[in-house]
Amino acid sequence: MKAKLSARQENILQFIQQFMEERHYPPTVRDIQNGCNVSSTSVVDYNLHKLQAMGYLKREPEVSRGIELIGEGLKGTKRDIQSIPVMGSIAAGEPLHVPDAPAVAEESYDTVDLPSSLIGDRENMFALRVKGTSMIDALVADGDLVILEPANEAANGDMVAAWLDPSEETTLKRFYMEGDMVRLQPENATMQPIMVAAKDVSVRGKVVGVVRSM
């Protein structure tokens, strides 16, 4: 039998539930402090630890928004959640090797829980952790998760995970077909595009959403 929540813990849990309902991502400790009129972040941290110990949430203390509601903590929410496999990392900069996206996630992969409203009717979605800053002007920062749907075609301007055959590596860029060449364009004014022969590049997935790390 679970221990009874204190009034403050009830308030914090309800705040987290409402915050995630409205914004589809977790609050920071500072958000909770301000939203619940708590005296300090250490008091918030203490109560989050208690809520985690009682099975209402999971938390990654090193991550700014590393709160995930579980079990009893999900009661009272309207969120329809789907778990998406996190397949590895992708370079927003120089190319980086990542595995193929499987049709069904294997147990060895980490997952990220997302509202179904973000995913819609898409199938076999997967996520990649961004490394680098070449897409920073598109508000995709180092450490963010990009959510992709499997695809082997893209329209000009789509943000894609592009596979480069010669180096057997993948990079995150805007896709532009230019004759028999493909321009993989960064969203960073300080960086140059990658030009690749069309026969040597293939699209592995199109970005449909971003989960911020901060």
CA dist 50 and 112 (Å) reads 23
Q: Please indicate whether residue 173 is annotated as part of the active site.
A: yes
pTM for the full predicted model: 0.58
CA dist 89 and 97 (Å) reads 8
pLDDT tens, 21-76? 788 788 999 999 999 999 999 999 999 999 999 888 888 877 778 888 887 666 65
pLDDT tens, 109-132? 678 877 666 676 777 888 889 998
- The gap from C-alpha 65 to its chain's centroid, in whole angstroms, comes to 11
Check if the beta carbon of residue 158 is closer than 8 Å to that of residue 206: yes
pLDDT of residue 40: 92
Task: Identify the H or E element spanning 121.
Answer: none
Catalytic-labelled residue, pool 75, 134, 167, 199: 134
Task: Give the relative orientation of helices 7-23 and 29-36 as an angle to the nearest 10 degrees.
Answer: 120
Catalytic-labelled residue, pool 173, 202, 206, 213: 173
Q: Please indicate whether residue 131 is annotated as part of the active site.
A: no
